Amino acid sequence: MFLVRVAKDPEIRRKEILNAAIELFEEKGYDATAVSDIVKKVGVAQGTFYYHFKSKEDVLDAFLDDIIEEIRVKLTAICDMEIDSIGKVLYYFRVFNTAGIGRERMMVYLHEERNALLHLKLEKKIYPKVLPPFQKIIQQGISEGVFDTEYPYEAAVAIFGASNAISEGKHDHAITEVTEDRRLLTTTDVMERILGAEKGIFIKYYRDKMEEKR
């Protein structure tokens, strides 16, 4: 038994392998996906994998870079919009709620122990991409007079940390049952406080301008 050997443009092959890997990562998790599974799915030899990727972790990095680049592009677009800072903050968060596989599934997925490495790497890689533009939005808000903080960078860091913790709590350790509505309410409340914004300004803006666009 033998198969015809096909040589493809390396970029094409690389994509093939990467896509197969991503599908398997989403299906079985990173740990449980063997390199032999990936090459079987693509229909190439094990060596081909290592011709295109340095290691199994290297594919993971490529996967994460894809996700992060997708998000970065969207965020840059938001920063360049000609709207006020409140709107930008809300758009900014909408990107996270819809990015990648979709926040809900993504969140559960990231918290599975078989994806621990993926989780850690994503966190490490995404913050430097996301925080500087967010800081700019906050500074815009300060100029506009709607935000008031001495530490715009740390405010950005704190908001991401806090909102992440609030929405993660849903999956793990919530005492009170957390509805989607309460999550929105508490997250915007915390954001307003950290940014020194008028109480209720985000929720008001959200109800007026964001919801109608759904």
> Which residue ranges make up the site for its own copies (CB under 8 A)?
111, 113, 116-117, 119-121, 123-124, 127-128, 131-132, 135, 149-151, 153-155, 157-166, 168-176, 185-186, 189-190, 193-194, 196
**Contact between 88 and 156 (Cβ < 8 Å):** no
Please tell me whether residue 5 binds DNA under the rule CB under 7 A. yes
- Which does residue 116 bind out of DNA, its own copies, none, counting CB within 5 to 8 angstroms by kind? its own copies
CB of 193 to its own copies, least distance (A): 4
Residue 102 CB neighbours (<10 A) = 11
Cβ neighbourhood burial of 93 (10 Å; 0-12, 13-18, 19+): buried
Please tell me whether residue 179 binds DNA under the rule CB under 7 A. no
Say how far apart CA 98 and CA 95 lie, in whole Å: 5
Say how far apart CA 214 and CA 212 lie, in whole Å: 6
How many residues belong to the site for DNA (CB under 7 A)? Answer: 26
Whose Cβ is closer to DNA: residue 45's or residue 83's?
Answer: 45
Q: What b-and-e string marks burial along 44-73, b requiring 16 or more CB atoms within 10 Å of the CB?
A: beeebbeebbeeeeebbebbbeebbeebbe
Please tell me whether residue 198 binds DNA under the rule CB under 7 A. no
Please tell me whether residue 44 binds DNA under the rule CB under 7 A. yes
CB of 90 to its own copies, least distance (A): 18
Give the range of 52-60, 89-97, 113-121, 185-193 binding DNA by CB under 7 A: 52-60
Whose Cβ is closer to DNA: residue 22's or residue 44's?
Answer: 44
